[in-house]
Amino acid sequence: MRDEFSLIRSISPANVHQPSLHVGIGDDAAIYEGAPEMEEVLCVDTMVEEIHFRRDTLTPFQIGYKSLAINISDLAAMGATPKFYLVSIAVPPQWSDREIKTLYRGMAECAAPYRMDLIGGDTVSTNAKLVVTVTAVGHVPKGTRLLRQRARPGDVVFLTGTVGQSAAGLELLNKKGLHGPFTEEEELLVLAHQQPQPQVEAGHLFARSGYRIALNDVSDGVASEANELAEASKVKLVLKANTIPLHPAMETFSKEQQLEWALFGGEDFQLIGTAAVDAFASLQQLAIQRGISLTEIGYVEAGSPVVELEEGTARSVLKKSGYNHFAK
Ligand code: ADP
Ligand code: MG
């Protein structure tokens, strides 16, 4: 029988970073003080073993890391600063206490750059698979939050960083297993899958710019996220296939394969958004100053809420999960 109390004790953080935290782990609930000039931003995400992750592609440390990174990415897509997280975990007998502690170390590592505090959670046993549910709390100055519904005809569609790398990494892990061996390039792709970097700084830049910006994070692939922007804003997005920034380490794969990963792979945790043409030009300047790459990948038109992909002179409707000519 697992001793839940000693497990909770062992995963409780030794120190606190956020001064607004009044009560952390140890009481019935956590208490922090919100600032009057801020809006509180909350999100939650659940990862189930064998469905959202597998032990032969992620180590316990990386499962922890990724389960928090997914949530931080959602906060980034609102322009928010991460502050706290809570973890509900259902532990099956085949997971040792040591592995669970390692999973929490992975979360702590992901939290560290943002000085996020672990402030609570829940621990239960299960006979099935490991389930990790992370709730993240952040805040954003009033009037600066970034929503999906703000795209307007004439806007530029933009993307931070590169895409496709996580799906490429997963393919390599599926082929070669957790321990490879991998070339240096392959290692970059594998790590992009295992420990993705949420774009908090870019989210801040967008929020503080004061421009009208529609924003979403790329958790399910560019095609899916672009469709969500189109639906929320009731506009048409046109993406130019040859402008989508692909991770350089994918070069050895065919262009079609790279584009497929970029559009439908997901878990790259970049930010996709739209802004007016003038605003985008200034945003790009600001981004360069901060070492953030920002690429124009298309434009917004009036029309029914769909996404179209421009390849040369051809245009096809880009569904969430595939091109229309081979959509499921
Ligand atoms: P209660 O019965 O009041 O819910 P628990 O014994 O479940 O108390 O939890 C005690 C404290 O430990 C609480 O502060 C709770 O938030 C925290 N906690 C419990 N499980 C976890 C976990 N898996 N991760 C982080 N904190 C946890
Ligand atoms: Mg409890």
pLDDT in tens, 152-172: 999 999 999 999 999 999 999
Residue entry with tokens 């600066």:
144
Q: Which two tokens stand for residue 258?
A: 């790279």
Q: What is the best residue among 25, 84, 91 to mutate for testing ligand 1's pocket, by most ligand atoms within 8 Å of CB? A: 25
Residue 302 · residue 293 · CB < 8 Å = no
Q: How confident is the chain (328 residues) per 10-residue block, as mean pLDDT?
A: 83 94 96 98 97 95 98 98 98 96 97 98 96 98 96 98 97 96 97 97 97 96 96 98 97 96 96 98 97 98 97 92 52
Is 97 marked as a binding-site residue?
A: no
Q: How far apart are CA 161 and CA 188, in angstroms?
A: 14
Is 155 marked as a binding-site residue?
A: no
Q: Is the CB of 27 under 6 A from ligand 1?
A: yes
Torsion angle defined by CA atoms of residues 255, 261, 262 and 266, in that order, rounded to the nearest 10 degrees: -170
- The structural domain count of the chain equals 2
Does any domain span residue 135? Answer: yes
Write down which residue in 122, 141, 160 finishes a domain: 141
Does any domain span residue 163? Answer: yes
Residue 179: Cβ-neighbour burial (10 angstroms; 0-12, 13-18, 19+): exposed
Between the CA of 119 and the centroid of ligand 1 the distance, in Å, is 9
Full residue range of the structural domain in which residue 116 is found: 4-141
pLDDT tens, 176-234? 999 999 999 999 999 999 999 999 999 999 999 999 999 999 999 999 999 999 999 99
**Residue 208's domain is classified under what CATH number?**
3.90.650.10
Does any domain span residue 256? Answer: yes
167 in the same domain as 61: no
Ligand 1 atom closest to Cα of 120?
A: 16
Q: Is the CB of 103 under 6 A from ligand 1?
A: no
Q: Is the CB of 24 under 6 A from ligand 1?
A: no
Between the CA of 135 and the centroid of ligand 2 the distance, in Å, is 15
Write down which residue in 141, 175, 198 finishes a domain: 141
Does any domain span residue 171? Answer: yes
User: For residue 223, what are the CA distances in angstroms to 158, 236, 245, 276?
Assistant: 13, 13, 14, 21
Q: How far apart are CA 271 and CA 267, in angstroms?
A: 11
Beta strand pairing call for 307-311 and 236-240? parallel
Residue 275 · residue 233 · CB < 8 Å = no
Q: Is the CB of 8 under 6 A from ligand 1?
A: yes
Ligand closest in space to the Cα of 24:
1
Write down which residue in 113, 141, 169 finishes a domain: 141
166 in the same domain as 279: yes
